[in-house]
Amino acid sequence: MIEITPKIVREHGLSEDEYGRIKELMGRAPNYVELGIFSVMWSEHCSYKSTRAHLRRLPTTGPQVIQGPGENAGVVDIGDGDAVVFKMESHNHPSFIEPYQGAATGVGGIMRDVFTMGARPVAMMNALRFGAPDHPKTRHLVAGVVSGIGGYGNCMGVPTVGGEVNFHAAYNGNILVNAMCVGVARTDKIFKSAAEGAGNPVVYIGSKTGRDGIHGATMASAEFNEDSEEKRPTVQVGDPFTEKLLLEACLELMATDAIIAIQDMGAAGLTSSSAEMGSKGGSGIELDLDHVPQREANMTAYDMMLSESQERMLAVLKPGREAEAERIFKKWELDFAVIGITTNTGRLIVKHKGEVVADMPVHALSEDAPVYQRPFTHRTPAAALGPDDFDSSKPIADSLVKMMSSADLASRRWVWEQYDHSVMADTVQAPGGDAAVVRVHGTNKALAISTDVTPRYVRADPFEGGKQAVAECWRNLSAVGATPLAVTDNLNFGNPERAETMGEIVGAIDGIAAACIALGFPVVSGNCSLYNETNGEPILPTPAIGGVGLIRDVTRTASVALKRFGDVLLLIGDTKGHLGQSIYLREIDGREAGSAPPVDLTHEKRNGDFVRGLIEAGRVDTVHDVSDGGLLVAVTEMALAGNIGASVALPVGVKKVPFLFGEDQGRYVLSVPAADLDRIRAEARAAKVSCVDIGRVLNTPFVEAASASVSLAVLRKGHESFLPQLMRAPS
C-alpha cells in the first residue's frame, strides 16, 4: 500500500485545502487509487472549478433547445423530428507536446461526445492557433496538427468543412487545437448519461485499456515549463479505424431500445464516465476491474481507472439485453464486457482481484468538487486610437497586397485540401466561405456552421471581444442565409490563479452572455481550457465560439463569390473607420494598438435579419461579412472567389484608410443586380438599416479602390503562396 504523503498529494495537482476537503468527504484518508480518482475529477479540466461560478451567467435556454450544457453535447431542434447535436472541445496541451496524436485524438474525442448522444456526425470544424510563423516550432506544429486532424477525420468519413487558423507570437509556447463536431439525430432518439435505476448491467465497449494518457486531464490543468516535452507519455494515441467501428456499432445498438445510459470515456477515462453516470442518475456504480479488457499485462487498479486510452464507451443496459448488445459489438470486432452493475448506494465501488480498491461517495467526485471564486481584476481596456493615429502614406494597392498575403488573411487552402470536405456527399459550401453549409441528408434543409473569435480584440477589451466573437459567428451564419440557432463555446485562457487572467475570463464570459442574450443565440455546450501559458507567458484570451444555424431551403443560400459583371456592391451597416486592433494597423503600421471595435448588438441584429431576409426570399445570392482586414479585404476575397474584378468608390469626404481597412462590426457586402438596387435600398431605409452603394463588379480582372488598381493574378499569387511557402521543407 502506498502511503499518501504531502508530496504525493502535490504531484496529483491537489492543494492542501483540497486534500483536507477530500478527507472530510470520505470520513478518512483516501488510499492511492482513491486519491488518483479525486485528482482527475477535481482537476480544472474535469471540474471547471475556476469557471463554473461564472458560466452560470450564460443563457442556455430557448424554444429551440432540447439539451443545454451538462450532457456530452448540446441538442437543438431543427424541425421535422430532426435535431442537431454539437460541441467544441480543446486538445491544446497534448497537441503541443505531440501534434499529430494530440490533434487526432481531439477529433476522435469530440466525435464520441456527439455520437454518444445518438447522432451521426455530419461535419467537423476546427479552430487552430499557432505561434509566430517564423518561430522554430511553428512549421512542425502546423504540419503535425493538420495531418492529425485529417488522419482521423478522413478515416471516419466525416467531412471537415471549415474553421480558423491564426498565428500570433502569444501562442509560441501553447498552441490551441479546438475541434467541433456537428451531428444529426432524431429528437426521439437522444441518448443521455444518467445511470438511473439499480441492478442494471454496466458494459464496457470499444478498444482495450492500456497505460496511455494516464493523468492527461491533470496535465491539461497545469502550466508548461521547459520540461513539458517530457510529458509525452501522457498523450493518448488515436485509432480512427476502431472509432469508425465503434460509431457504427453504437448507432446499431442505439437503433434498439436496450440502452438506459451511455457515456464516452474521454478525459479521466473510466473514472469520470462511471462517476458522472452514477452522479447524474442519482445511483451508485460497482465496477469489477478484472473484467476490463486490457491491452497490457499487470495493470493496476490505478492504471485502469486513470487510463485515457481512446475509442472506449461505457453504457448501462436494460437487464437481459447483454447478449443482443454483445452480438452487435462482436460483429464489428470490438471488445464488449459486462464490468459492473448499478446500485442504489450512491457510492462508486471499485474491485480488483477480489478486493475493494476504492469505495467513495459518487457525489464527492462531481457535485462536491470545489468551486472557486478566484480573485480577478479588470484591466483598463486599451485606449482608442486618435483620429489620425495611423500611417496613411503607404499606397493602398501595396497595403492590400501585403495584407492579403499576411499570416492571418492568406488563403488556408494548404490546410483544408488535406481534409476530406466532400465525403458524405452533402457539402453544399466547402471551406473558404463565411460559414460551411451541409445539407441534412435526404432533406431540402441544411446546417450552417462557423467558428469565430478575434483574440486581439479580447486582449484589448475582454467584454467587447467576447461580444464580438458571438456577433461575428452569428453574422457568418446570417451571411449564408441561415437562422442562427445556438452556440458551443471553447474558452481558452491562461492561468486563472492570476487575477488579470481571471479578469479576462470573467469579462469575456460577460461579453459572450450579453451577445448571446441580445441575439437569441444560447450556449448549449462547451469546454474550458485554462493554464495555457508557458513560463508565466499566457496566450491571447481566446474564447472560440462555434455556432450552428438552419437553412430551411437549401436552394436559397448565399456565397461570397462574385457572380455577375455589372452587379452593384452594397455595404450594409455603419462605417466609422475603426482602425484600433485592426489587421491594417498590425501589418502596415507594425503596431497592435487601440481599442477593440465596439459591437452594437441592436444594429447587429437588425442588419443580420435584413440580409438573411433577402437571401431567404431568393433575392440575393452573394454576401460576405466584413471582418478581419475591413471592407477592401472583404471585396477582394469576393473577387478572388468569383475570379471577377470589382471596384470600390469612396463616398465623398471619407478618409481612405479608415474607410477601406477599418474593422467596424455588423457589416456585410452584397452583390446585387443593378435593377434591384432601388427596391433593396428602400427596404433598407424602412428597416433602419444603413445600405450604401459602394462599388461595381467589373469585367476586368482587377480590384480597384481610391485610384489604386491591383490585378487578381497579383493578389492571388500572394494570397495563395503564404502557407505553401511557410510549410515548404527547408532545402
Partner 1 sequence: MKAAVIVFPASNCDRDAATALEYFTGTKPAMVWHGESDVPDVDLIVLPGGFSYGDYLRCGAMAAHSRIMRDIKKKADEGVAVLGICNGFQILAESGLLPGTLLRNADLKFVCRPVNLVVEESQSAFTRKYSTGDHVRFPVAHGEGNYFADDETLKRLEGEGRVAFRYANGDNPNGSIRNIAGILNEKRNVLGMMPHPERVCDAMLGGTDGRPLFESLVEALT
In which order are the strands placed within the sheet that holds 708-711? 623-625, 668-672, 568-572, 691-697, 646-648, 702-705, 708-711
CA–CA separation, 691 and 172 (whole Å): 42
Least separation in angstroms between CB 426 and partner 1: 7
* SS3 of residue 26 by DSSP: helix
CB 528 within 8 A of CB 406: no
Number of Cβ within a 10 Å radius of residue 465:
30
Paired sense of beta strands 82-90 and 176-186, if any: antiparallel
Q: Which is nearer to partner 1, 128 or 348 (CB)?
A: 128
Paired sense of beta strands 335-343 and 201-206, if any: antiparallel
Q: Which is nearer to partner 1, 335 or 368 (CB)?
A: 335
Catalytic, out of 12, 54, 91, 168: 91
Q: Which is nearer to partner 1, 54 or 208 (CB)?
A: 208
Least separation in angstroms between CB 155 and partner 1: 4
Least separation in angstroms between CB 561 and partner 1: 12
Per-residue b or e along 104-134, where b marks 16 or more CB atoms closer than 10 Å to that residue's CB: bbbbbbbbbbbbbbbbbbbbbbbbbbbbebe
CA–CA separation, 396 and 399 (whole Å): 5
Q: Which is nearer to partner 1, 427 or 527 (CB)?
A: 427
Least separation in angstroms between CB 702 and partner 1: 25
45 catalytic per annotation: yes
CA–CA separation, 705 and 356 (whole Å): 76
Q: Which is nearer to partner 1, 190 or 424 (CB)?
A: 424
Backbone angles phi, psi at 560, to 5 degrees: -80, -20
Q: Which is nearer to partner 1, 132 or 430 (CB)?
A: 430
Of 421, 433, 240, 211, nearest in space to 309 by CA: 211
Q: Which is nearer to partner 1, 225 or 643 (CB)?
A: 643
Environment class of 643 (CB within 10 Å of its CB; exposed 0-12, middle 13-18, buried 19+) = exposed
* SS3 of residue 201 by DSSP: strand
Least separation in angstroms between CB 256 and partner 1: 18
Between vectors from CA 696 to CA 694 and to CA 701, what angle results, nearest 5°? Answer: 130
Q: What residues make contact with partner 1 under the rule CB under 8 A?
A: 147, 150-151, 154-157, 239-242, 244-245, 331-333, 416-428, 430, 439, 554-555
Q: Which is nearer to partner 1, 121 or 597 (CB)?
A: 121
CA–CA separation, 584 and 662 (whole Å): 8
CA distances from 110 to 152, 178, 219, 469 (A): 11, 10, 19, 21
91 catalytic per annotation: yes
Least separation in angstroms between CB 449 and partner 1: 16
Least separation in angstroms between CB 234 and partner 1: 24
CA–CA separation, 493 and 105 (whole Å): 21
Catalytic, out of 45, 168, 215, 578: 45
CB 709 within 8 A of CB 398: no
E-strand ranges in 626-707 read: 646-648, 668-672, 691-697, 702-705
Q: Which is nearer to partner 1, 419 or 463 (CB)?
A: 419
Least separation in angstroms between CB 193 and partner 1: 27
Between vectors from CA 209 to CA 206 and to CA 210, what angle results, nearest 5°? Answer: 140
Of 273, 313, 250, 269, nearest in space to 118 by CA: 250
Going by the DSSP 8-state scheme, the letter that residue 616 receives in this structure is: H
Least separation in angstroms between CB 160 and partner 1: 9
CA–CA separation, 521 and 605 (whole Å): 11
CA–CA separation, 455 and 337 (whole Å): 46
CB 460 within 8 A of CB 580: yes
Least separation in angstroms between CB 165 and partner 1: 16
Element spanning 512, H or E? helix 499-519
| Torsion angle (degrees, nearest 10) of CA 382, 388, 389, 391 | 140
Return the residue matching grid coordinates 450579453. 514
Q: Which is nearer to partner 1, 171 or 416 (CB)?
A: 416
**On the CB side of 586, how many CA atoms lie within 13 Å of its CA?**
20
Q: Which is nearer to partner 1, 61 or 422 (CB)?
A: 422
Least separation in angstroms between CB 32 and partner 1: 37
Q: Which is nearer to partner 1, 154 or 454 (CB)?
A: 154
Q: Which residues pair with 259 in a beta bridge?
A: 317
* SS3 of residue 67 by DSSP: strand
CA–CA separation, 262 and 110 (whole Å): 15
Q: What is the 3-state secondary structure (H, E, C) of 424-483?
A: CCCEEECCCCCCEEEECCCCCCEEEEEEECCHHHHHHCHHHHHHHHHHHHHHHHHHCCCE
Tell me the residue type at 661: F
Least separation in angstroms between CB 312 and partner 1: 17
Q: Give me 536's grid cell.
A: 508565466
Least separation in angstroms between CB 584 and partner 1: 32
Q: Which is nearer to partner 1, 147 or 595 (CB)?
A: 147
Catalytic positions: 45, 91
